[in-house]
Structure 1
Amino acid sequence: MSTTTESTEAKRRGAFSSRRVFIFAAIGSAVGLGNIWRFPYVAYENGGGAFMIPYLIALLTAGIPFLYLDYAMGHRTRGSAPLAFRRISKRTEWLGWWQVGICFVIAVYYAVIIAWSLKYTIFSFDKKWGSDPESYFFGDFLQASDIADGLTLDVVPGVMVPLVLTWIAVIVIMALGVQKGIGATSVVFIPVLIVAFVALVVRALFLPGAIEGLDTLFTPNWEALSHAGVWAAAYGQIFFSLSIGFGIMITYSSYVNRKTDMTGSGAVVGFANSSFELLCGIGVFSALGFMAQAQGVAVDEVATDGIGLAFVAFPAIINEAPAGALIGVLFFASLILAGITSLVSIIEVVISAVRDKFEMHRLSATLVVTLPAAVVSLFFFSTSTAIFVLDTADKFINSFGILLVAVVSMLVLAWVVRTLPAFADHLNEYGTVPVRGWWIVLISSITPLGLTVVLVKEFIDTVKEPYEGYPDWLLYSAGWGLAAAVIVLGILASVVRWRPDTPLTVPPADIGEEVER
């Protein structure tokens, strides 16, 4: 491919200026809220120190191999998720749009958690939540209504204002493009995030009771390794935290130079993400150890995850800890930085797909995608029932969206269109980590089998007992209905014609050269 054609294609779709920027962007996508508030509790609940064994095995046998699959697809086909699948086979395009739908849903509710973190960063200075953080969060701040009374759309101004600011920031970043927006944001935010969280961990380690917290987290329960659920939790955590399986890494790798070492980059991203999760575990459980000592209870009585950890447990810690305001600012600022870098990667999947399908300019595609997303986000998630809708949507779109499309994608690519050998050859061309038969075996058999076990367990548990005891109307609309809707919309979107000049039938062996950036 000529240099002129390469330059033209780069200008049309955008590109990262270097491998370093790509790695920062990929790490920024992978390092998100799940690292900070999900991993520590998952590790604690599933064997403590012993959990690191299945976690590491899951990283090596599922996380990094699937990351390589995403990289191979995007880097070789030079397209967004739907275009990448379409260039592989007309029969697989709907899988790409399924991933786009998942990303749109996640973006809509992910933004509100960043908005909450923005307000709580400010609240940390004077501990506005008072002596009862739980009552303040659900009552004064969210003004949460009783979900049993039905869906209410009463606007909560304290949430709406920071949510508007969050979407403005995201729209500006996305409008600036791949390098000046996403790349530049990641290059700045990720180092700042690491510095902020290291400072938080150092401060937490010197709190009274921190050692007890770390003992609780890392004391190994070897017997737990005999439980299938522990291994399922390890594989689920790896997929949730690495941003794989739902189009992000396909999209990002399509913006990288043809001669980039993708396997070496993937190894860096995978281990960087896991290292940050370990750092989060140390920081969070040091703080929980202090909280347990201050309240005169065992650490397991205060250990929690998710929203409860961030907006209830940590404010309680801040109330008691020396220099609590500093801990609060560092913690909630870390949530903002991690959240923004993840959110821009999620929404980029949708923007890139729209640009490829309809040949739109960057700004036009950004507005077409982000403005409706912002409106839906504000309409549903700045209201008094937002917390319940968010919790339900997050549970179902992750379990029966991300994991399910990942399993289906692997099986289709391995056994229907049989493209794994070509992907392996592509990765080996410039990769420093050789991809051999072991990778094909993992992607075609072992990894989908492991994820299927996770899915079946999730499905049985969810059917057996309604999630969080929520009413059926909520579970069937924001839960099962939403998970099914993104599949249906994916199929319908694949029927829409591509722009006339989009090359869709390029021979697989020539794809990389045809549209090299």
Structure 2
Amino acid sequence: MSSQTTSAPVESSKREAFGGRWIFILAAMGSAIGLGNIWRFPYIAYENGGGAFIIPYLVALLSAGIPLLFFDYAIGHRFKGSPPLAFRRMAKWTETIGWWKAMICVVIGLYYAAILGWAASYIFFSSTEAWGDDANAFFFEEYLQVSDTPSLDFTIVPGVFWPMLAIWVAVLIVLGIGVRRGIGIASAIGIPILVVMFLVLVGISLTLEGAVGGLDALFTPNWEALLSPGVWVAAYGQIFFSLSVGFGIMITYSSYLKKRTNLTGSGMVVGFSNSGFEILAGIGVFSALGFMAQASGVAVGDVVESGIGLAFVAFPEIISQAPLGLGPIIGVLFFGSLLFAGFTSMISILEVTLSAVKDKTGWSRVTVVSTFGVALALLSLVGFGTTSGLHLLDVSDYFVNQFGIVAAALVAVVSVSWLLRRLGRMVDHLNKVSSFRLGTVYKFLIGLVLPVVLGYTLVLEFIGQMTADEPYGGMPNWYVNTFGWGMAVSLIVIGFIVSLLPWAKGSALYTEQSENEYLLDDADLTQGKHAANDTEQEIKS
């Protein structure tokens, strides 16, 4: 073994842990159920076959989403660490993969705070319908004060800056308190509140005139859409981005579980709960859009939007048109749901990075949060609390998702399955502690199906950008190359550089024992002495 792996721990230390399996499940649900469930899934389903989209969606969930969720659980639980520590314990050279995932979470966490700040503001705006007669102009011009062209304009927008600051303070307090009393309690409180609020919102939306028309538009199946490869790519993409898999969250969270924990059973609960909430979101959103279409005298398709446009333009218009004083109630429920869903997700995103720093340096949680966490908050406020924040958010979000999360997941799966040939060991670990046992089918999905799907998705997006008539979003070349392509590549470079830095003697690599009975060393990687089965032979069999 390498000297770092075999060095005796400086002291015996236990890793932080969740209060129980159900707290972990709620925390994992809090991470998975985020903004994308509410403002992305309904639009993706509508644009890709309506009711027929449920078929590729379920196929993607069962063949990729849940298997990748199990994959992350196995790594985190077996090697007891944040992504860099877990991958470092697996093989020294794979530590870069862990830091790559941690850097992805940095970027997402920076802009996530801005969206939560907007949602918090709109809770109050809903009471007076502050957007007036033009929700679009109010949001982009009066509230965000968006600069005409993408630039490096650092002019602070007070209406965005202060809510963002409040969000950062709340998130850092939760993270500073710890896993059991901070993340666990926030999830145990936040998820039930979110579900109740959204159920009430759906109930009100279903009573609005025109709601049935909206549901017809969403669920009427277009079976011909199933013949389009793009529909299937969209289904897999939605699953990857909504389940919080592939970029370190579930690796980190599963490292906080006790030695004997039902991993696959927990994963099934999280996976299907996430999908159930997405379908519920589709019902609520399209019921409201059906009402808006009827009130405006247009077809449902004319009012369907996704993402920011749906949340901060379409829904304010729905609120303004709602009957019997329901508008403010709908506003508080909708934007409150966005806030709670995003808050628990942001906690999980930042925990990946802060846990990684804590593991590498050996610093206390409070020290990491009060230094590195505060630095991230300041960077977020300067970058996204300004007049250029929306442009930066747009390009960062696209490139970190399409060329960050997908690429990192692909590299991790190929490295573990084919280069390290440790897929059999991961399955053995899952079966050792779980009720739902996995076998050849699972190995086939992880070892072959997932690399093909992730690779195809990545290549398709890359070709699309390379052959486009203009840079992403019509933005200037220098802006896309710097904050799009440049950012995506720099995450890998930074991850590699950080992986070269030595682990502190007081770090988790020395002071926290992995509960795994064997760590993988360079000799294992070369000779494969302890491999349960060669991955290639497993798939061929």
TM-score for the superposition, normalised by structure 2: 0.91
Residue 539 of structure 2 aligns with which residue? none
1:452 pairs with 444, 450, 455, which one? 455
**Structure 1 counterpart of 2:368, from 365, 373, 398:** 365
1:3-18 alignment runs, 5 A limit: 9-10=13-14, 13-18=15-20
Letter in 2 for 1:343: M
Deviation of the 1:462 alpha carbon: 1.8
Q: Superposition pairs for residues 205-220 of structure 1, below 5 Å?
A: 205-220=206-221
Provide, for residues 299-345 of structure 1, a one-character-per-residue CA deviation record: whole Å limited to 9, x for no partner: 00100100000000000000001201100000000001001100000
Aligned-partner SS, 2:518 = helix
Change in Cα spacing, 1:257 to 1:506, as seen in structure 2 (3 Å) is closer
Q: Letter of the aligned partner of 1:271 in structure 2? A: F
In 1, the alpha carbon distance for the partners of 2:82 and 2:473 equals 36
Partner Cα separation in structure 2 for residue 274 and residue 9 of structure 1: 37
Deviations 1:3-28 (A, max 9, x none): xx9x9633xx3110100100000000
Residue ranges of structure 1 left out of the alignment (5+ in a row) = 513-517
How far does residue 368 in structure 1 lie from its aligned partner after superposition? 2.4
Give yes or no for the alignment of 1:129 onto 2:131.
yes
Q: Which residue of 1 aligns with 2:181?
A: 180
The farther-off stretch of 151-160 and 300-309 is 151-160
In the TM superposition, residue 463 of structure 1 has moved relative to its aligned partner by 2.0
For the 8 Å contact 1:233–1:454, the answer to whether it is kept is no
Counterpart in the other structure of 1:510: 518
Asked if the contact 2:120–2:336 (Cα under 8 Å) also holds between the matched residues in 1, the reply is yes
Q: Give 1:474's match in structure 2, choosing from 470, 476, 479.
A: 479
Q: Structure 1 residues 103 and 509, CA, compared in 2 at 3 Å: closer, same or farther?
A: same
Match of 2:52 in 1: 50
Q: Verify: 1:201 aligned to 2:206, yes or no.
A: no
Deviation at 1:91, TM superposition (A): 1.4
Task: Give runs of aligned pairs for residues 53-452 of structure 1, distance below 5 A.
Answer: 53-147=55-149, 150-322=151-323, 323-452=326-455
Matching residue of 1:493: 498
Deviations 1:114-167 (A, max 9, x none): 00000000000010011100000001100111115x331111111111011011
SS at match of 1:235: helix
Superposed CA offset, 1:449-506 (max 9, x none): 0121111111122222222111112111111110001000010011011123624997
Contact 1:422 1:509 in 2 (8 A): no
Letter in 2 for 1:373: L
Report the CA distance shift for 1:505/1:128 in structure 2 as closer, same or farther (over 3 A). Answer: closer
- Whole-angstrom CA distance in 2 between matches of 1:186 and 1:157: 30
Residues 489-498 or 456-465, more deviating: 456-465
The answer (yes or no) to whether the contact 2:289–2:318 under 8 Å persists in 1 is yes
Counterparts of 2:427 and 2:504 in 1: how far apart (Å)?
Answer: 30
Asked if the contact 2:214/2:300 (under 8 Å) is kept, the reply is: yes
CA distance in 1, matches of 2:514, 2:56: 41
Report SS of the residue matched to 2:13: helix
Quote how far apart the aligned CAs of 1:507 are. 11
1:109 corresponds to which letter in structure 2?
Y
Q: How much does 1:349 deviate?
A: 0.3
Aligned to 1:515: none
Q: Contact 2:76/2:253 (CA < 8 Å) preserved in 1?
A: yes
1:110 and 1:197 map into 2 onto residues whose CA distance is 20
**Superposed CA offset, 1:237-272 (max 9, x none):** 000000000010000000001101000000000000
Q: Give yes or no for contact 2:80–2:515 (8 Å, CA) kept in 1.
A: no
Please say if residues 12 and 513 of structure 2, whose CA atoms lie closer than 8 Å, have aligned partners that are also in contact.
Answer: no
Shift, 1:393, TM fit: 0.1
- Alpha-carbon deviations, 1:161-207, whole Å to 9, x = none? 10110111011101100011100000000000000000000000010
| Long gaps (5+) in structure 2 | 1-8, 521-541
Q: Against the structure 1 CA distance between its residues 506 and 256, is the aligned structure 2 distance closer, same or farther, given a 3 Å change threshold?
A: closer
Per-residue Cα deviation, 1:406-455 (whole angstroms, up to 9, x for no partner): 01110010011111111111100121111111111111110110121111
Distance in 1 of aligned mates of 2:517 and 2:480? 45
CA distance in 2, matches of 1:343, 1:42: 23
2:78 touches 2:514 (CA, 8 Å); kept in 1? no
Deviation, structure 1 residue 511: 5.3
Matches within 5 A, 1:17-56: 17-56=19-58
Mapped partners of 2:147, 2:504: distance in 1 = 47
User: Take 2:90 and 2:486, find their aligned partners in 1: how far apart are those partners?
Assistant: 29
CA contact (8 A) 1:86 1:93 kept: yes
Contact 1:88 1:508 in 2 (8 A): no
Equivalent position amino acid for 1:245 in 2: G
| Range with greater deviation from structure 2 (159-168 or 453-462) | 453-462
Contact 2:66/2:271 (<8 A) preserved: yes
Match of 2:475, as an amino acid? Y
C-alpha distance in 2 between matches for 1:271 and 1:242 = 10
How far does residue 111 in structure 1 lie from its aligned partner after superposition?
Answer: 0.4
AA aligned opposite 1:154: T
| Partners of 2:18 and 2:184 within 8 A in 1 | yes
Q: In structure 2, how many angstroms separate the alpha carbons of the residues matched to 1:296 and 1:424?
A: 55
Aligned to 2:537: none
Letter in 2 for 1:24: L
* 2:531 alignment partner in structure 1: none
Question: Structure 1, residues 266-302: CA drift from partner, whole Å, max 9, x if none?
Answer: 0000000000000000000000000100110000010
AA partner of residue 510 (structure 1)? Y
In the superposition, the TM-score normalised over structure 1's length comes to 0.95
Q: Which amino acid aligns with 1:202?
A: G
Whole-Å separation in 2 of the counterparts to 1:500 and 1:398: 35
CA contact (8 A) 2:50 2:217 kept: yes
Number of positions where the alignment pairs a residue of Structure 1 with one of Structure 2: 504
